[in-house]
Chain A
Amino acid sequence: MAIIKIKRPQLTLADKLYLPAVIKGLWITLGHAIRSMRGKTHGAAQFNSSGLGVTMQYPETKWDDQLPDYYRGVPALVTDEQERERCVSCQLCEFICPPKAITIIPDEIESDDPWAKVEKRPKEFEIDMTRCIYCGMCEEVCPEQAIYLRQDYAMTGLSRAEMVNDKERLYEIGGVRTGLVNKWNELK
């Protein structure tokens, strides 16, 4: 069997005394502190820092224009170019949602509706933002390209009820998304 014997490093007297290492450490932290106070922290400019450290001062400075495309913010429902609500309430997102934030009550589309052949749509679609963990599973599981995580991240409310996004609000956040697969065309 392969037993590898590792030799412990031989410590010099300075190492054993420990004090030089402490002083070195103090020197390093002092260097950081001084740079920080002079507003010259490494990377401060890159992060739009206010000068002290690299921290971005949130409400005053925001990073919205630098958010990557894959940023996972508030989940929302989208409509397509034909103004059709894409969700058919298959409830897969409700099923996959790890914190059970999504509640859907399905509904049948009336026969006089131009999209009657889609047959099904959500009557109620609620996402409880106090529960949502922004994991993006709903977007990933959606077979209809109907739910997307948007770039919004500042969800606030004064009550729990306010933090529940209903269907209307979800479509308002989601807006129109173009270029999606049109699977409910004439030929289907």
Chain B
Amino acid sequence: MSDTDTQQLPKDIAAAKGLVNVQIDGHWIQVPRGTRMIEACKLAEKEVPHYCYHPKLSSPGNCRMCLVQMGMPPRPAPGQDPVYDADGYQAIGWMPRPVIACSNTVGENMGIRTQGELVQKCREGVMEFLLINHPLDCPICDQAGECRLQEFSVEHGKGESRFKEDKVKKPKNVKIGPRIRLDDERCIMCSRCIRFMDEVADEPVLGFTERGTHTTVGVFPGRELTNNYGLNTVDLCPVGALTSNDFRFQMRTWFLKETDSIDTNCGTGANTTIWTRGNKIFRVTPRQNDDVNSCWMPDSHRLNYVCPTDDDRLTAPLIKVDNVHEETCWENALEAAADALKQFTPGEIAIIASGRQTNEELFMMRALAAELGIESLAIVAREEASDDMLISADRNPNTTGAKLILQDSEVAATLATFREGVYSGDIKAVFVASEDLLSEAGFSADDLEALELLISIHTSANATAQASDIVLPGAGSAEKRGSMVNVAGRLQKLNAACLPPADARSDWEIIRDLVLALSGESAEQAPQTIDALFQIIATSIPEFDGKSLASLGDLGETITETGVTIPLLERENQRKARGEIVG
């Protein structure tokens, strides 16, 4: 090249930005120095099939599925200058043997081929080996439909088996923990589960035994996989070797509808996918969000959800007549609630909201308080020890949101005042939403008995609902759209995966209609959709300014700084900084 002096070479341009030039399937791209080849291919939108590699785990390179062809420019002989072509790149000398893409990093002027005869032959060979001992039980295997082995054997496999010998028999249906079953015959030895338990859950109980074709994954003798993050290994497993007892043989995955939502069991608000068929929830799995929950989720949270088909769900508004609850219609119930509340002076009424309510519901609770002339609302605090992983000390999913919406940084403190008021008889009426007053709230059955009026919104028939004069059936967290703010100040969205059972309704609509019944205004003056309600919140609460429910992404946005961090993410970032994982 004649004008090398005046024009910079691509390598120098890239180096100035800390990047290197890589040719992937004939196209040159620039990627950061130190990137794994598999990630570079992902940036170039070329898929490299893989089993053992996971960006959040270390890369042992034991599945060999990610083999690609690699090449570097030949090293110049002493005294010889590198030769550059018209575009300023050196010619690539392709290596005759493939390399694994998951644990090699890219270099300047490197070439990668993710297609071609060599790569194709390699993949066929690896697939054939992986399938040698793999049983042909896809019709009964729960992984079918989301199985990487199925997908890649269709894409890269030979299509037929040459294996005439007997397959190796291994333990099947092994109970390795209270929530997990292991089928060793299906295992392809990717070791993702072993690495997860070791590196992320920090409780190494899984390991390989035996050698060669007899290699078997199993729990250490005398141990069980009881860790609260154990079910993440089921999500990680690329085949059907690890299955969750909860979801095992319940439904084939292709029938399930995926809805992106968030976990409402604690303040972290782990991002989830809710898998439903019809109006039944079949499982909840974590969804990757590197600012909230990485790729993980605690077992206790994923197994704890309210389903519309649960037996104890409230399905119609109830009014207590002669100590017996009678079903009624919404018009009657709201009319009765409004009339009953009008009998009391503002000082005699307590409104107890909940940190489990969405921002929209809390905003409507505030509107209800304003309509009744009450100054402050209380929420029930749920402080427990954090597990130093993903479970936050604050077990309310939306305490931060409640503080913002109610514009009161000490929302939980008011509850004690209310409790005393009820005790002393100053407070005669209580309106409570989504809280069981007899558990964390600290009320006793006698307190509730002493009340002249108790109106509650609940999803299921709990003790407070039993004691209430009017019960309004609300929607569970999987049945409503709305937003919450997690402990770290991140605004996240809930989406409705199913419909509330029978006559139950979204809580914000119930409270809106109650406010309308109290004020006597026409329905047109209230927000008709939750989007419209969010719009009102956005104009009245500064932190929500400029946001809308529709434009809020599935990963959420940080709207306030709380200074709270999530321990598991901190550790993950450290490992990433140390170069142990890709992240």
A contacts B directly (C-beta below 8 A): yes
Binding site for B on A (CB under 8 A): 88-92, 94-95, 106-108, 111, 117-120, 143-144, 183, 187-188
Sample of 6 more A-B contacts, CB < 8 Å, known A90-B140, A183-B136: A91-B251, A106-B249, A119-B140, A143-B138, A187-B166, A187-B167
Residues of B contacting A144 in the complex (Cβ-Cβ under 8 angstroms): 139
Give the number of residues in B that approach A within 8 Å (Cβ atoms).
18
B140–A111 CB distance below 8 A: no
Minimum C-beta distance from A118 to chain B (A): 7
A111–B144 CB distance below 8 A: no
A88 to B140, CA, bound (A): 6
Minimum C-beta distance from A109 to chain B (A): 10
Q: Give me 5 A-to-B residue pairs in the complex whose CB atoms sit less than 8 angstroms apart, sorted by A's number.
A: A88-B139, A106-B249, A106-B250, A119-B173, A144-B139
In the complex formed, the residue of A with least CB distance to B165 is A187
What is the interface of chain B mostly: helix, strand, loop, or mixed?
A: loop
Residues of B contacting A94 in the complex (Cβ-Cβ under 8 angstroms): 255
A120–B249 CB distance below 8 A: yes
A144 to B137, CA, bound (A): 10
Encode contact with A along B227-269: 1 for CB under 8 Å, 0 otherwise: 0000000000000000000001111101100000000000000
Q: Which 10 A-B pairs have the closest CB atoms?
A: A90-B139, A120-B140, A91-B252, A88-B140, A143-B139, A106-B249, A108-B249, A88-B139, A119-B140, A120-B249
Minimum C-beta distance from A101 to chain B (A): 15
In the complex formed, the residue of B with least CB distance to A116 is B173
- The answer to whether B579 has its CB under 8 Å from any CB of chain A is no
A108 to B246, CA, bound (A): 12
A119 to B174, CA, bound (A): 12
A95–B255 CB distance below 8 A: yes
- The answer to whether B88 has its CB under 8 Å from any CB of chain A is no
Most buried by A among B140, B167, B254: B140
A92 to B141, CA, bound (A): 12
Residues of B contacting A120 in the complex (Cβ-Cβ under 8 angstroms): 140, 249
- The answer to whether B553 has its CB under 8 Å from any CB of chain A is no
B139–A92 CB distance below 8 A: yes
Residues of A contacting B135 in the complex (Cβ-Cβ under 8 angstroms): 188
Encode contact with A along B157-173: 1 for CB under 8 Å, 0 otherwise: 00000000011000011
Residues of B contacting A95 in the complex (Cβ-Cβ under 8 angstroms): 252, 254-255
A9 to B252, CA, bound (A): 64
Minimum C-beta distance from A96 to chain B (A): 11
Residues of B contacting A90 in the complex (Cβ-Cβ under 8 angstroms): 138-140, 144, 252
A183 to B251, CA, bound (A): 23
A119 to B139, CA, bound (A): 11
Minimum C-beta distance from B429 to chain A (A): 46
Residues of B contacting A118 in the complex (Cβ-Cβ under 8 angstroms): 140
Residues of B contacting A188 in the complex (Cβ-Cβ under 8 angstroms): 135-137, 167
Encode contact with A along B126-168: 1 for CB under 8 Å, 0 otherwise: 0000000001111110001000000000000000000000110
Minimum C-beta distance from A120 to chain B (A): 4
